[in-house]
Amino acid sequence: MNSNITTTPDTVQGAEHFIMLSDEQAEARIVAARAQLGQRAVLLAHHYQRESVFRHADLTGDSLKLARLAANTDAEFIVFCGVHFMAEVADILSRPEQISILPDLAAGCPMADMADLTKVERCWDELTHILGTPDTRITPVTYINSAADLKAFCGEHGGIVCTSTNAPGIIDWALAQREKVLFFPDQHLGRWTGHKKGIPLDQMAVWDPDLENGGLTPEEIEHARILLWKGHCSVHQMFQVEHIRSWRAQHPDGWVISHPECNLDVCRESDYVGSTEFIINTVTAAPSGTRWLVGTELNLVSRLAEQLKPQDKIVKFMAPTVCMCSTMQRIDLQHLAWVLENLANGNIVNPIRVPAREAELARTALTRMLEIP
């Protein structure tokens, strides 16, 4: 790594100097800074990122894919145009000499924030009083959309991480280890996955972290095979069954595809359910002239619709109101220009560094996931 690089605040150009730039000015400075940095920086953009930023990316995809790809580059700097937990995963999986950077530290994930370490540890203590030693009876499973300390919690307690793609296999693995699963932070992904695995709904109880014992009786906890943390993605809760039925009434030959963060009824009404990359690949591979109603984030749907116009495909956003990932939207051209220009000038701003012990335990949980076929 370049020994001239510093993180001393006195040498860093403040973001306030960039906020007032027009998009055209910010874009010009991004291009200039990238030319100066060359291969020392790799720019990652999640599928939900706004188009003006997305088009500057070297690598695009979902959060885990991007983190793994970046770790295999020669770049010193991993600039992640996503949200905080994504930059954390990149830091955990990258080489020690690589530095993960988030252009705006306010770009978080409200769903990930619905499960924090204090509440999860309190949950674990309450389960101890009811079930005995939870390490022998419950496998903690955290969705990759979670903070590093929760991944570390899973690593320490024999648990694992899952993605929206591999969740069914992870649930199989988790139930093979112990009789129950504690699944956080997204109840809807957990419920859909359990449903697909044939687990009855009455054996999937919702744990409310703001209530004693999750708002459940000891009998309900004993009966449950999956305890679902009371968390959700606000974007995917916008989609409702009536949106699908209205679409089908107008387009009886159309197809419906949704993300598993949607509620169970929406998933049941859909023709296909899968991750962001599954949605992209499925709609892209469909025959020309087909019509699609898509239940996931607006930027992804709009980009897909534009890309597939030449194939005469109609791709529509499921909700009647505009809704996008508001925290992802915090990554804009101005913040990206600020980060890249500072890097080009020898300054690191907004590095994301997971503490060593936490990173080690989180890596354990991620490695368990990656080792499952």
Domain ranges of the chain: 9-108+328-354, 112-234, 236-317
CB atoms within 10 A of CB 364: 18
CATH topology of domain 112-234: Rossmann fold (3.40.50)
What does the alpha-carbon distance between residue 55 and residue 62 come to, in Å, rounded to a whole number? 15
SS3 78: strand
Q: What is the pLDDT along the chain (373 residues), one digit of tens a residue?
A: 333 333 433 345 677 889 889 999 999 999 999 999 999 999 999 999 999 999 999 999 999 999 999 999 999 999 999 999 999 999 999 999 999 999 999 998 999 999 999 999 999 999 999 998 878 899 999 999 999 999 999 999 999 999 999 999 999 999 999 999 999 999 999 999 999 999 999 999 999 999 999 999 999 999 999 999 999 999 999 999 999 999 999 999 999 999 999 999 999 999 999 999 999 999 999 999 999 999 999 999 999 999 999 999 999 999 987 766 777 788 999 999 999 999 999 999 999 999 999 999 999 999 999 999 8
Give the H/E segment covering residue 295. strand 291-295
Give the burial string for 79-102 (b: 16+ CB within 10 Å, else e).
bbbbbbbbbbbbbbbbeeebbbbb
Query: Residue 96 and residue 367: Cα distance in Å, rounded?
Result: 17
* Helix or strand run (H / E) with residue 120: helix 117-131
CATH architecture of 236-317: 3-Layer(aba) Sandwich (3.40)
Chain centroid offset of residue 24 CA: 29
Range 9-108+328-354: architecture per CATH: 3-Layer(aba) Sandwich (3.40)
